[in-house]
Chains A and B, each alone.
Chain A
Amino acid sequence: MKTDTVLLQIKNLKAYFSSTLVLKDISLDVSTNKVVALIGPSGCGKSTFIRCLNRMHEETPEAHVQGEVILNKQNIYAPSADPVLIRRKVGMVFQKPNPFPGMSIFDNVALGLRLLGIRKRSVLEEKVHSSLVQAALWNEVKNILKRPGTSLSGGQQQRLCIARTLATTPSVILMDEPTSALDPVSTMRIEELIRHLVQTVTVVIVTHNMQQASRISDNTAFLLNGELVEYEKTSRLFTNPSDPRTEQYITGRFG
């Protein structure tokens, strides 16, 4: 068995909305090819936390961040770091499926590649194909690649968004409650997909659903009021939590 290598190291992360502190000094490590789930009640800062990992938090007016996020030995909050380049390495899938309006299924996936300067049709087709296969969507869309992405069902749209993110081969994919707008069958397919993806990428996922966290994640972090209460192997956190607040939350006594 190979030892875990740390891909993402979060050190003393503090996030603010104007002067309100919403993440209070969070430190945790994410290992390569693992799924890390973030759980906690609404408003505890889960979404803000992952939005700090691709520098998306600062896109909100008056929001800012302190601390370090080290991706592959480089601090993404270093003054010289370029958010655009970071986001190509750290992809993101949102709560609501959001294919680009008026854009075909093919173009949705190809956009990121074209941005990287890939113009050759055969290369684009090959990459779009492999991304859609990886996102377990190819068989359903192979004959309708020219249709708008928005014509697909919700679950398919979300897999399209995953394919779009995969196309530019990021090393980390952040997912912000990716299944909360989907039905149970679509949810199951995405969960299977995440387990499959983790062979090649690292996933940090926010979820409201504790069963989901226990089904798909290797490690789980429990956040409460912007504080990291506990970060443990998922099997351990759900069976033998060390903090009483974690136990109260996972047994449904609050939240």
Chain B
Amino acid sequence: MNYLSPTPRDFYRKYFSHFMMGILALLSCIALVPFIAISFFIIQKGWDGLSLGFFTEIPAPPAEGGGGMGNALLGSAVIVGMASLLGIPWGMGAGIFMSEYPGQKLGRILRFTIDLLTTVPSIVVGIFIYHLVVIHYGFSAFAGALALCVIMLPIVAKSTEEILRLVPQHIREAGLALGLPRWRVIINILIPGTYSMLITGVILAIARIAGETAPLLFTSLGNQFYAQNLSEPTSTLPVQIYEFAKSGFKELESLAWSGALVLIVFVFLVNLTVRSILFLYKRRMEK
């Protein structure tokens, strides 16, 4: 017998390997099921309600039918935009501090607090902003943006911290050795070197808050019409979907389905756009 010829044990080993691989493939396929099922379901239910009017008109009274969610779309865009404007620099600042000044006592306290904040249920954030702002100034887009900002802050801070920690220590030392002050190392080396990843983290946080419902129930409330200014109650897509879905009127339920479709398409497109920008950017860098 050749000394390389397989023993029965080797046959067993091979089949066992195929068997395990098969199980993994099967589990991977099952993992795709929820996504495919949700997409299919929502497209089926929501497709018919989509028209130009859906994006521009305000909801019509249930008996008339038609109408759209233009006010909710605009409201969501404004509130998410304001939350991002404040939440992104705030969160990134905290993330940079946690990653780059780990020895500082403040950094340790900050990390602990941010970790706790991540676990606070979003409805609690809503109640908090309700007591802090809404009780005094009423429901408004501002209050909604503030609530979303609080939810966004730990997500952005954590992702920034984790991404910066991926940069090896000797890269920082190379910058310091060149005579760069620490803040220059952060701004001129670490951020440019990781910015594609940093942007991905930020975009995912935006997509996350775009779908938040609970904290907006207490803060921006909702509005049947286009809000006239930022200190009025303002409708948002997730809250309006929630209101219409439980309304009991067929026409409004149909609008809710279409709204859900728009919401997931938005989140999907945001992800896709970011990925393709990153891809093109990488290719350009490699040339």
A-to-B contact residues, CB < 8 Å: 54, 56, 59, 61, 84-88, 91-92, 94, 96, 98, 100-104, 111-112, 114-115, 146-148, 151, 161, 164-165, 168
Residues of the B chain whose Cβ atoms lie less than 8 Å from the Cβ of A148: 285-286
Shortest distance between the CB of B211 and any CB in chain A (Å): 31
- Which among B90-98, B125-133, B189-197, B251-259 touches the partner chain? B189-197
Extra 8 A-B pairs, beta carbons < 8 Å, given A102-B192, A111-B188:
A86-B179, A91-B178, A100-B189, A102-B195, A103-B192, A111-B189, A148-B286, A168-B178
Residues of the A chain whose Cβ atoms lie less than 8 Å from the Cβ of B167: 101
Residues of the A chain whose Cβ atoms lie less than 8 Å from the Cβ of B189: 100-101, 103, 111
Bound state CA distance, A121 and B189, in angstroms? 20
Nearest 4 pairs between A and B by C-beta? Answer: A88-B179, A101-B193, A92-B177, A87-B179
- B184/A115 in contact, CB under 8 A: yes
Q: Which of A56, A88, A101 contacts B171 (CB 8 A)?
A: A101
- B193/A147 in contact, CB under 8 A: no
Tell me the nearest residue of chain B to A116, going by C-beta.
B179
Bound state CA distance, A96 and B286, in angstroms? 22
B115 interfacial contact with A, CB 8 Å: no
Shortest distance between the CB of B283 and any CB in chain A (Å): 12
Q: Which of B181, B193, B286 contacts A103 (CB 8 A)?
A: B193
Q: Given A103-B193, A148-B285, A54–B180 Cβ distance below 8 Å?
A: no
B13 interfacial contact with A, CB 8 Å: no
Tell me the nearest residue of chain B to A167, going by C-beta.
B178
Q: Given A56-B176, A148-B285, A165-B178, A98–B188 Cβ distance below 8 Å?
A: no
Residues of the B chain whose Cβ atoms lie less than 8 Å from the Cβ of A102: 192-196, 285
Residues of the A chain whose Cβ atoms lie less than 8 Å from the Cβ of B174: 92, 94, 98, 100, 161
Listed by A's residue number, 24 A-B pairs whose Cβ atoms lie within 8 Å are A56-B176, A56-B177, A59-B173, A59-B176, A84-B180, A86-B179, A87-B177, A87-B178, A88-B179, A92-B174, A94-B170, A94-B174, A98-B170, A98-B171, A100-B193, A101-B167, A101-B171, A102-B285, A103-B189, A111-B189, A115-B184, A115-B188, A147-B285, A148-B286
Question: Secondary structure at chain A's binding surface: helix, strand, loop or mixed?
Answer: mixed
Bound state CA distance, A88 and B285, in angstroms? 29
Residues of the B chain whose Cβ atoms lie less than 8 Å from the Cβ of A54: 177
Residues of the B chain whose Cβ atoms lie less than 8 Å from the Cβ of A103: 189, 192-193
- A56/B178 in contact, CB under 8 A: no
Bound state CA distance, A104 and B285, in angstroms? 8
- B286/A147 in contact, CB under 8 A: yes
B201 interfacial contact with A, CB 8 Å: no
B175 interfacial contact with A, CB 8 Å: yes
Bound state CA distance, A104 and B195, in angstroms? 15
Residues of the B chain whose Cβ atoms lie less than 8 Å from the Cβ of A104: 285
- A87/B176 in contact, CB under 8 A: yes
Shortest distance between the CB of A58 and any CB in chain B (Å): 10
Tell me the nearest residue of chain B to A114, going by C-beta.
B188
Residues of the B chain whose Cβ atoms lie less than 8 Å from the Cβ of A92: 173-174, 177
B14 interfacial contact with A, CB 8 Å: no
Bound state CA distance, A92 and B170, in angstroms? 11
Q: Which of B168, B175, B179, B192 contacts A168 (CB 8 A)?
A: B179
Shortest distance between the CB of A200 and any CB in chain B (Å): 18
Shortest distance between the CB of B33 and any CB in chain A (Å): 38
- B286/A164 in contact, CB under 8 A: no
Residues of the A chain whose Cβ atoms lie less than 8 Å from the Cβ of B103: 61
- B171/A112 in contact, CB under 8 A: no
Tell me the nearest residue of chain B to A85, going by C-beta.
B179
Bound state CA distance, A91 and B193, in angstroms? 22
Tell me the nearest residue of chain A to B188, going by C-beta.
A111
Tell me the nearest residue of chain A to B189, going by C-beta.
A100
B136 interfacial contact with A, CB 8 Å: no
Shortest distance between the CB of B201 and any CB in chain A (Å): 16
Residues of the B chain whose Cβ atoms lie less than 8 Å from the Cβ of A101: 167, 171, 189, 193-194
Residues of the A chain whose Cβ atoms lie less than 8 Å from the Cβ of B246: none
B287 interfacial contact with A, CB 8 Å: yes
Tell me the nearest residue of chain B to A151, going by C-beta.
B286
Shortest distance between the CB of A91 and any CB in chain B (Å): 7
Shortest distance between the CB of B248 and any CB in chain A (Å): 55
Bound state CA distance, A59 and B233, in angstroms? 52
Shortest distance between the CB of A60 and any CB in chain B (Å): 9
Shortest distance between the CB of A238 and any CB in chain B (Å): 30
Residues of the A chain whose Cβ atoms lie less than 8 Å from the Cβ of B188: 111, 114-115
CB under 8 Å from chain A, chain B span 144-182: 167-168, 170-171, 173-181
> Looking at B176, B179, B286, B287, which has the most chain A CB atoms within 10 Å of its CB?
B179
